[in-house]
Amino acid sequence: MQPDLDRELELLSSGHRYVAGVDEAGRGALAGPVVAAAVVLPLGLFDLALGLSEVRDSKQLTPAARDRCDEQVRELAVAVGIGEASAKEVDEQGLLPATRAAMRRAVEALDPAPSCLLIDHIRIPELELPQEAITRGDQSVLSIAAASVVAKVWRDRWMAELDVRFAGYGFERHKGYGTQQHRQALARLGPCPEHRRSYAPVQRALSPG
């Protein structure tokens, strides 16, 4: 499925000049932050869809394609905002509140500020903005797909940096997700400060046997 601008253009026609698409990366990982991105596209640009024709849900793209799309989005976007919620916040607040916090920070980082939000799957009640939670929005709405790419690329680069700081876990390869290699490293090394201790595989590594 190729995402389109139908919903954004409907909102533009109703008076919303700056519509932000919002998505996250890293909810299911055992380590590292949840990263959210918010992207405002220039809806008046006549060839916008063509310029972002490769952009998809980040899970449908190869790493090389994601990097290309990230560059294209950043080159064309009116504004891009990034927000993070740390592993500690995930443990202390729970995954959904931490995800909403990351999304809120991403939206608050936008300049100019958006007048409404299109969000993949969830709402951000802490923000008093018109907003729509769209199931599988990263597959159908171009602004959300763009945000999914930006969030994924940002987080992947963050995890590559963690691989240098915490050698042996393979963060650059699996990005903190629960692969067999990661679980074996957890069993061998125990958790590092970037692991989410509220997640069952990490808890098992803390209390082996």
pLDDT digits (tens, 9 = 90+) for 29-58: 999 999 999 999 999 998 999 999 999 999
Give this prediction's pTM.
0.96
CA angle 206–208–209, rounded 5-degree value: 150
Check if the beta carbon of residue 168 is closer than 8 Å to that of residue 182. no
How does 42-77 read in b/e, with b if 16+ C-beta sit within 10 Å?
ebeeeebbeebeebbbbeebeeeebebbbebbeebb
| Paired sense of beta strands 19-25 and 116-120, if any | parallel
Residue 209 scores a pLDDT above 90: no
The CATH fold assigned to 6-166 is Nucleotidyltransferase; domain 5 (3.30.420)
CA angle 112–117–123, rounded 5-degree value: 135
pLDDT digits (tens, 9 = 90+) for 126-146: 999 999 999 999 999 999 999
pLDDT digits (tens, 9 = 90+) for 154-199: 999 999 999 999 999 999 999 999 999 999 999 999 999 999 999 9
Domain extent listing, the chain: 6-166
Predicted confidence at residue 52, as pLDDT, reads 96
